Chains A and B, each alone.
Chain A
Amino acid sequence: MTTISLDEEATAPKLRLTPRHHARALEGIVWREWLRFLGQRGRFFSALVRPLVWLGIFAAGFRFTLGVSIIPPYETYIPYEIYVAPGLAAMIQLFNGMQSSLSMVYDREMGSMRVLLTSPLPRWYLLAAKLLAGVVVSVLQVYAFLAIALLWEVEPPLWGYLAVLPALILSGMMLGALGLLLSSTIRQLENFAGVMNFVIFPMFFASSALYPLWRVQEADLWLWYICEINPFTHATELIRFALYGQISWTALAVVVVCLLLFMTLAVIGYDPARGMIARRGGAE
């Protein structure tokens, strides 16, 4: 018996992963995220407070110090609140993406990651489905924010609300994939304060979310370069243009390329043969 090789004794029928199995798993993952969201409505609304503080207080104070000239996609002079709203929508996604991806590796969550990864489906698919499920919740949050922002006369054209949906999904996936990549590679980032200081704040401030980049270029050329290569700038611009029914092709290209890049690296990070999980060791 012991001389029989593994291949010869492979009598069990091979499992064929069907599209239906993929769909079932995606549905299950999104549905679980949705249930968790329903269970944590308090957190949902408290997370809405953050962008509203920026919009209601920071923007009100800032509007008098910053004149915004006419820049695309806007066709007239606009109050600062209107300029900053898409950046705050992107900020919601940045926070959500980091939070949900990093929570996957926090110890209390490691368990649910194990359940996910023992599914027979390929790992890249499971991780992508998990990201998408997180994006569903963050997109809801953005729409809730945009609804409240009407009070500040942030009133994009009606179909802009529809056009922004794919932009939100793409940028949400990209930022979530970045979080996943960080979670799979950098151990020090396991507490959220570290992520705030080293990832979220630098990405948010060195971007076009709060100020148009031409102002940055006038102030500091190096900072401008940094803003220009910051993927968060392009997520913001993708959302900004989409909200006004336009496409920023540069932003779209950068977001898609970053999404693919971050996702690929994150999948490598979660590859059982390489990457973080194997190095980190077991629970023993």
Chain B
Amino acid sequence: MGSALEQDRQDGMIPPVRGRAAAETPALRIAGLSHSYGARPALKDVALTLYPGDFTILLGLNGAGKTTLFSLVTRLYAHRSGSIAIFGAAIDKDPATALSRIGVVFQQSTLDLELTVEQNLRYHSALHGVPRRRTEARIAAEIARVDLANRRRDKARQLSGGQRRRVEIARALLHDPKLLLLDEPTVGLDVEGRQFLLDHVRKLCRDDGIGVLWATHLIDEIDADSRVIILHQGKIMAEGTVPEILAATGSATIREAFDAMTRRSERAP
């Protein structure tokens, strides 16, 4: 999956992650996006571009607008200004094409706890029109990748929080999307569970060339080679690799940069 591109990268034809060939279509491209709930603005003129294989962390405090952004990209609500395109398909003009390329893990768990793991996965697969035979193969592959093959027939209720998250990631990938959106996927997980998710998703980026937008309010999920977008009160305050952001803000650490940008009393945990 994405192997031709990956091969090119390894061959040095395309520099890894940034400095793209102009021909490459962004996995996600947002421009001039604003949104408000009544009089309360939630997003102000947001623009971002994410390429296949990018692992981008969307860092922001609770209420910064992360979930709103996710809701707009998945067309739970329609945007009234700006544009959102997934692999070139505009979410408002061609939602079917756009949605078929997105895998999403919402902040709150969306598994049906009364159903088994594989029943949950089959349901999702049917919604995305994956043919029945292929569904079984895809489920086997994805569930093995998150190391839960032996829990297939267990009810989702019987799984731990971390395991449920892993099932949700497996589910989000069943229809082979090339853009994966995760909204605070590690909330409520222990250290081990968080690390598993981070490692797994980074691997997806690396091996399958999936573009990932990972929303979080936890600064320690950022590692040195992450690309980071800092969202505060609906506005993008900074965007770039960790060294770029540090250089631009003259800070020693991302936490310092983040605190400087978001100022005042609110401190990220």
A residues with CB within 8 A of B: 1, 6-7, 9-15, 17-18, 20-21, 24-25, 27-29, 31-32, 35-36, 39-40, 110-112, 114-122, 126, 271-273, 277-279, 281-284
Contact partners of B65 in chain A: CB under 8 A: 284
Contact partners of A29 in chain B: CB under 8 A: 123, 126-127
Known A-B contacts A14-B94, A17-B96; the reply to A25 vs B129 at CB < 8 A is yes
Known: A28-B125, A118-B99, A284-B66. 10 other contacts (CB 8 A): A6-B31, A6-B88, A14-B94, A111-B108, A115-B110, A121-B96, A121-B127, A283-B108, A284-B67, A284-B68
Contact partners of B218 in chain A: CB under 8 A: none
State in angstroms the CA–CA spacing of A196 and B29 once bound together.
Answer: 46
How many residues of chain B are within 8 Å of chain A by beta carbon? 58
26 contacts between A and B (CB under 8 A): A6-B88, A7-B90, A9-B25, A9-B85, A10-B89, A12-B25, A12-B101, A15-B89, A15-B94, A15-B97, A17-B129, A20-B131, A21-B129, A24-B132, A27-B126, A28-B126, A31-B122, A35-B119, A119-B127, A120-B100, A120-B129, A272-B75, A272-B77, A273-B78, A277-B76, A284-B42
Known A-B contacts A28-B122, A284-B63; the reply to A118 vs B77 at CB < 8 A is no
Q: Looking across the interface, which residue of chain A has its beta carbon closest to that of B183?
A: A283
Say whether A39 contacts B90, CB under 8 Å: no
Contact partners of A278 in chain B: CB under 8 A: 77-78
Interface flag for B71 (CB, 8 Å): yes
State in angstroms the CA–CA spacing of A7 and B85 once bound together.
Answer: 9
Q: How far is the CB of B2 from the nearest CB of chain A, in Å?
A: 13
3 smallest beta-carbon distances between A and B, as pairs: A28-B126, A21-B129, A111-B110
Interface flag for B83 (CB, 8 Å): yes
- The residue among A25, A118, A278 with the most chain B CB atoms within 10 A of its own CB is A118
State in angstroms the CA–CA spacing of A13 and B115 once bound together.
Answer: 34
Q: How far is the CB of A70 from the nearest CB of chain B, in Å?
A: 48
Checking A11, A14, A120, A277 against B25 with a beta-carbon cut-off of 8 angstroms, the contacting residue is A11
Q: How far is the CB of A112 from the nearest CB of chain B, in Å?
A: 6
Checking A13, A21, A35, A118 against B74 with a beta-carbon cut-off of 8 angstroms, the contacting residue is A118
Contact partners of A39 in chain B: CB under 8 A: 114-115
State in angstroms the CA–CA spacing of A36 and B74 once bound together.
Answer: 26
Q: How far is the CB of B119 from the nearest CB of chain A, in Å?
A: 6
- The residue among A35, A112, A120, A272 with the most chain B CB atoms within 10 A of its own CB is A120
Q: Looking across the interface, which residue of chain B has its beta carbon closest to that of A278?
A: B77
Contact partners of A13 in chain B: CB under 8 A: 97
Interface flag for B256 (CB, 8 Å): no
State in angstroms the CA–CA spacing of A211 and B94 once bound together.
Answer: 52
Contact partners of A282 in chain B: CB under 8 A: 42, 67-68, 71
Total of A-B residue pairs, C-beta within 8 Å: 146
Known A-B contacts A6-B83, A6-B90, A10-B88; the reply to A36 vs B115 at CB < 8 A is yes
State in angstroms the CA–CA spacing of A265 and B13 once bound together.
Answer: 54
Contact partners of B83 in chain A: CB under 8 A: 6
Known A-B contacts A36-B115, A114-B106, A118-B74; the reply to A15 vs B124 at CB < 8 A is no
Q: Looking across the interface, which residue of chain A has its beta carbon closest to that of B69?
A: A282
Q: How far is the CB of B77 from the nearest CB of chain A, in Å?
A: 4
Known A-B contacts A12-B88, A12-B101; the reply to A24 vs B131 at CB < 8 A is yes
Q: How far is the CB of B197 from the nearest CB of chain A, in Å?
A: 18
State in angstroms the CA–CA spacing of A117 and B108 once bound together.
Answer: 15
Contact partners of B104 in chain A: CB under 8 A: 118
Say whether B115 contacts A32, CB under 8 Å: yes
Interface flag for B240 (CB, 8 Å): no
Q: Looking across the interface, which residue of chain B has its beta carbon closest to that of A28?
A: B126
Known A-B contacts A1-B22, A111-B106; the reply to A24 vs B129 at CB < 8 A is yes
Contact partners of B110 in chain A: CB under 8 A: 111-112, 114-115
State in angstroms the CA–CA spacing of A27 and B130 once bound together.
Answer: 12
Interface flag for B102 (CB, 8 Å): yes
Interface flag for B193 (CB, 8 Å): no
Q: Looking across the interface, which residue of chain B has its beta carbon closest to that of A6?
A: B85
State in angstroms the CA–CA spacing of A116 and B75 once bound together.
Answer: 12
Interface flag for B128 (CB, 8 Å): yes
Q: Looking across the interface, which residue of chain A has its beta carbon closest to that of B85?
A: A6
Say whether A24 contacts B67, CB under 8 Å: no
Interface flag for B87 (CB, 8 Å): yes
Q: How far is the CB of B188 from the nearest CB of chain A, in Å?
A: 14
Contact partners of A18 in chain B: CB under 8 A: 129
Q: How far is the CB of A28 from the nearest CB of chain B, in Å?
A: 2
Q: Looking across the interface, which residue of chain B has its beta carbon closest to that of A111?
A: B110
Known A-B contacts A28-B123, A118-B74; the reply to A283 vs B25 at CB < 8 A is no
Contact partners of A117 in chain B: CB under 8 A: 75-76
Say whether A118 contacts B126, CB under 8 Å: no
Q: Looking across the interface, which residue of chain B has its beta carbon closest to that of A10?
A: B88
State in angstroms the CA–CA spacing of A25 and B100 once bound together.
Answer: 13
Known A-B contacts A28-B126, A116-B127, A278-B77; the reply to A283 vs B107 at CB < 8 A is yes
